[in-house]
Amino acid sequence: MSAGPLDTDFYARSVHEVARDLIGCTLAVNGAAGVIVETEAYDAGDPACHAYVGRTPRNEVLFGPPGRAYVYLSYGIHSLLNAVAEPEGQAAAVLIRALEPTEGIELMRERRGVGEISQLCSGPGKLTQALGVGLDLNGAELTAEPFEIVPPAEAWDRLEVVTSTRIGITKAAELPWRYCASGNRFVSRPWPRVRSRAA
DNA sequence: GCCAGGATCGTCT
DNA sequence: GACGATCCTGGCG
């Protein structure tokens, strides 16, 4: 694939394609980097998408041009990082849920306060802390500093990506819009919890 | 190992 | 005034 970073056209496609193709890409920011191993897609007609209720000051970045970062505060504690997708006017985004750490490991350890590598970026709230990504980056372009997102060295075709239901939401939770690098041990959870007893 | 509960605050009703 | 696209801790088996 191309050697350079991803450009805006990459993001101006179906959010599901973008979510799938981000798997295997390397995300670098603020002196640390990792390979994206888990994402989730949220599209405009999706009740779980923040844009579903219409345009508000909080979610306006979702309605803007693709290739920007949508960062918001979750549970009053965690910053969650999304990549805005689809052409401008189509409010959709990909939640980055987990990374396999590759560079700046020590810096991530300091920011996270934990030593175990598998605990540095194995969750949407964890990876933003490890990368030093906060609300100040909401609306920033993912195609420019301080972000750099580059495609995998190997062709996308050679990466095995599995899909499953999304995690941590109550609305439209049954939609299979979670994408994971198959067999990767740095995902937030190997597989969604299966309900052991039927209601 | 698994699960229940609490932390904490911006956003919307 | 209620509710999260989460994470961590503590209790129990």
Distance in Å from B1's C1' to A56's CA comes to 43
Closest nt to A112 (CA→C1')?
Answer: C7
Instruction: Assign residue A194 a region (left: φ > 0; alpha: ψ between -120 and 50; beta: otherwise).
Output: beta
Token pair, residue A118, equals 């598998």
pLDDT at A102 over 50: yes
Give the pLDDT confidence of A27-62 residue by residue, as tens digits: 999 999 999 999 999 999 999 999 999 999 999 999
Considering only CA atoms, name the residue closest to the C1' of nucleotide C6. A125
pLDDT at A194 over 90: no
pTM above 0.85, yes or no: yes
Give the pLDDT confidence of A152-171 residue by residue, as tens digits: 987 666 789 999 999 999 99
Residue A58 has phi, psi (to 5 degrees) of: -65, -45
